Chain A
Amino acid sequence: MSKQNLALLILIILLALLPLTESRFYIFLGTDILIMGLFAVSLNLLLGYTGLVSFGQAAYFGIGAYTCALLMKKASLAFPFAFLAAGISGALGALIIGFFCIRLTQIYFSMLTLAFSQIVWAIVFKWNSLTGGDTGLIGINFPAYLDSNTRFYYFTLAVVVISLFILRKVVDSPFGRILTTIRENPERTEFIGINVKLFQLIAFMISGSFAAFSGALFGIFNHSLFPDLLYWPQSAEVLIMSLLGGMYNFFGPFVGAAIMLYMRMLVTSYTQYWPLIMGTILALLLFFFPGGIVGFLAKSRIFTRRAK
């Protein structure tokens, strides 16, 4: 077992032991970090690996959350099926939106992802009879076996660990390598015989699907859903998490999510100026650590040795 895998195993065991603290605060924060961490890693498949700056990742997060909740509430579907359906709906949403977005490049691509996510938001916001619109979706009957903070924490941990395991396999596969060549040089990739648009679309779907799983988890976590889940600041926040942690490292965005959520918890208990502090940190980071926190640590070899 490689050193990195050993470290991960230890980390998972520690995370599994977290509920033993019996602290509601840490269990709550831990669940939040796991969910947002998965969300950020799903975005990073596009951002860090494929070189596609998506400003509309909240759409898939929201699609996942609403699909899971609505199928249970309106169609009385059992939770496991509703949860799986959320992932599928995220992939389908990404297929439709991605089909149009990948036709454009760079800033135009980013703007189009933003536009589509706002369209999805507007639909959720206005479709009162289905989504509850602005008042949100409340009173979702999640299964009793998830109905305790600790149990839900373990469920989340399991989903996130499995998801990250799959995603890591994908980025380390030939498919993942081709994604990085697209990031580096789409024109050249085209002329080693790769259908670049197809690969981008597949990456979109994988990313959308895992974002939807994280969204579905978030819905259960919150016991209610609001259109805010899909509003653009949600997309911006997950983008910032990825940059903060480091987009050229698989776990970078996860670390970014953890740091950001922990700091927000800490700072907001002292002052209401969290956005100001966040902005300052981000500005400093972009100037001094363009590779994000994990990128910086990896470079200075503080706790990792460069992969050969």
Chain B
Amino acid sequence: MLKVQNLKKSFDGFIATNGVSFSVQKGELVSIIGPNGAGKTTLFNLITGHIPLDEGTVSFKGIDTTRMAPHRICRLGMGRSFQRTNIFPRLTVFQNIQAALLAHKGKSLTFFKPVESFFREETREILERVALKEFAETTSGSLSYGFQKQLELGIALASEPELLLLDEPTAGMSAQETRQTIELIGRITKEKGLTLLFTEHDMEVVFSISQRILVLHQGRLIAEGTPEQVRNNPEVQKVYLGESR
């Protein structure tokens, strides 16, 4: 479904991504881990076209998306969430989701019909799915951090992605919020048959839901495999233990 080959990117001489190659099969749950500054977010931005890459190729569903604009990649069926919450803060929760639906269903260039009448049912369905139904009329910027993350997931779902990229979906959450969010993500990916690629700092989360784990360190992929294999990989142990002790 997603194939990344030899990606390279540097910022003013700092090498953020250094020859990363991997692929994700349809229906897989793959996580990318690595210490802070390992290049996880940069890697996501390269895949979704938010940052132009220096070298390498990205293909999605067999289509070369290497230099495609983000909105086109999105339309092909890739959804993403951002590490720092990325919603439309002054709009209501309902309007956030509705806007994503308008974009996805090609109604965004409709000029003279009242927007209220569009996709009311579909919006409610998604709100229910991400457990935000009771907050429909709340200004989204005033939601708690955890709820904002849930809303972001809803926005990503509205474009009916086949591949979902989640950048630290539980960053900054309390233990309880983390557990709820992970349950939610797990349930939705299963129901919708989504392919999931996500970064995460919480190791417990990573080992509990990933089918495969990629380990990124200083812009390079240093290990890849099942949770069991990665846990026992000596190099990974060195990187992680060296960081924390």
Contacts and interface: CB of A to CB of B under 8 A. Distances in A.
A68 B50 CA distance: 43
A192 B79 CA distance: 8
B4 interface: no
Interface string A157-192: 000000000000110111111101100110111111
Given A173-B115, A174-B113, A190-B71, A308 B137 contact: yes
Given A169-B112, A174-B108, A180-B88, A188 B82 contact: yes
A188 B80 CA distance: 9
A196 B70 CA distance: 10
Main secondary structure of the interface of A (DSSP, over half): helix
Interface in B86-139: 86-91, 95, 98-100, 102-104, 107-116, 118, 137
Interface string A202-244: 0000000000000000000000000000000000000000000
Interface in B30-44: none
A175 B111 CA distance: 6
Given A174-B118, A175-B108, A181-B88, A191 B80 contact: yes
Interface in B225-240: none
B122 to A, nearest CB: 13
Interface residues of B, number: 38
A192 B115 CA distance: 17
Contact of B99 (A172, A187, A192, A308): A192
Nearest to A182: B88
Interface of A: 169-170, 172-178, 180-181, 184-185, 187-196, 199, 248, 308
Interface of B: 48, 50, 69-71, 74-75, 79-80, 82, 86-91, 95, 98-100, 102-104, 107-116, 118, 137, 155, 158-159
Closest CB pairs A-B (n = 6): A184-B88, A193-B74, A192-B103, A192-B100, A188-B86, A174-B110
